[in-house]
Amino acid sequence: MILRAPLIYPVDSPPIQDGAVLVRDERIVAVGPAPDIEKQAPAGLPQLDLPNSILLPGFVNAHSHLELTSLEGLAYPGEFTDWIRKVVEAKPKIAQEDYEKGIDEGVRRMIASGITTVGDHVSFNTDLEHILKSPLRGILFVEVLGVVREVAEDILGAAEEFERLYGDSPRFRVIASPHSVHAVHRDILPKLFQSPRPVLSIHLAESEDEDRYFREKKGPLFDLIAQRNAGEIRESPLQSSAIRQLENLGLLSSQIMLVHGNYLDESDVDLVARHNISVVHCPSSRAYFFHRQFPLTRLREGKVNIALGTDSLGSGDSLSMLDQIRIARAHHPEVSAEDWIHFATLGGATALKMEKEIGSITPGKKADLIAFQMKGKGQDPSEIVEQALQATRAHFVMIDGKAVT
């Protein structure tokens, strides 16, 4: 198939006006000016014209919790640790039918905004098959947690069983991953780093409560963990941040995908940069919790790879990548539209260690493509990219070489 559009924005190379993409099976074969692509294509190949459109690589949602979609509208109780208690209490009350409908609705909303790949956190008792059958691709991170050693060990065993059961899924990889540093027993945490898992998605430097847990050894989160296992806190020497805790344990590496990072200080950012760790910014979640300003400028100064995530509808009000970009731009107006597109595509692919497969319109990569309507003709490519970020939805989405909208 040939897809033709007035503007193609490959991300890893300059924009192409009156461009075309040659797709064979699920792969991109060639991209370039439409006349050149049409010359090299086999005779009679179907052609899809996308008039008045900009064609982009699919968005990569590097962090989400699809299983919490049915908690949409959950009111924030005013304190992060109280929110954790509220979610823990609410999840078991979700009927299976509502749970599945929530996942389906979450997938629908993501695809509508142009998301084609997701890094989704799932609980050890989640029905993975309901997510695996969706059109999306990505990684399912089975969360390992438990401050009691036996609990954490049991959940790790369940997560590793998921890895074995679903290792051959066509579009998803299933990976056991620590929920966070503070929520996993100190004997179990290193075991997650000792396997050949390409990436571990970890909530780090997310909240003020977590910040106080490490810096002050007190606060609501500290008290919550002490209630569950006071001995663990007494016996585990804490560094002044989760990043330094991992460094002290010899676990800090580029294997980590750091999710949130709202409370990274200067020395934390230096460690992140030194170890080539990607950071996932979740704008609507940061706003929902009234977290500290995300340190985007400092991270970019350190040449840290930035990705974007939606988090969940239990911790924000949107699963749209377009909304995440708009929310973030209100706080970082100095960042160009092109850079936001990079964060939402190749930045996310790099964070998930999938940059060889997705994230740009490049020959050899998967044919995951999205298109947005342009307003008028003869405009500068930068203006058209800006317009794409003002859209409410993608009007064309392709995953694995197949149109899904």
Cα–Cα distance measured from residue 99 to residue 123, given in angstroms and rounded to the nearest whole number = 13
H runs (alpha helix) in 279-402: 283-289, 296-301, 321-331, 337-342, 348-351, 381-388
Residue extents of the structural domains in the chain: 2-57+359-403, 60-351
> Would the pLDDT of 215 be above 90?
yes
- Predicted local confidence at residue 229, as pLDDT: 80
What are the tokens at 184? Answer: 């996993």
- CB neighbourhood size of 163 (10 A): 16
Per CATH, 2-57+359-403 and 60-351 having the same topology is answered: no
Q: Which amino acid is at 43?
A: A
Cα–Cα distance measured from residue 328 to residue 255, given in angstroms and rounded to the nearest whole number = 26
- pLDDT tens for residues 357-401? 999 999 999 999 999 998 866 578 888 888 889 999 999 999 999
Q: Which one, of 71, 201, 221, lies nearest residue 139 by Cα?
A: 201
CATH for the stretch 60-351: 3.20.20.140
> Would the pLDDT of 254 be above 80?
yes
How would you list the strands of the sheet with 306-308, edge to edge?
Answer: 200-204, 256-260, 278-281, 306-308
Of residues 378 and 121, more confidence is placed in 121
- Predicted local confidence at residue 41, as pLDDT: 87
> Would the pLDDT of 235 be above 70?
no
- pLDDT tens for residues 7-66? 999 999 999 999 999 999 999 999 999 999 999 888 889 999 999 999 999 999 999 999
- pLDDT tens for residues 319-360? 999 999 999 999 999 999 999 999 999 999 999 999 999 999
The whole model's pTM is what?
0.96
Q: Fold for domain 2-57+359-403?
A: Urease, subunit C; domain 1 (2.30.40)
- pLDDT tens for residues 59-109? 999 999 999 999 999 999 999 999 999 999 999 999 989 999 999 999 999
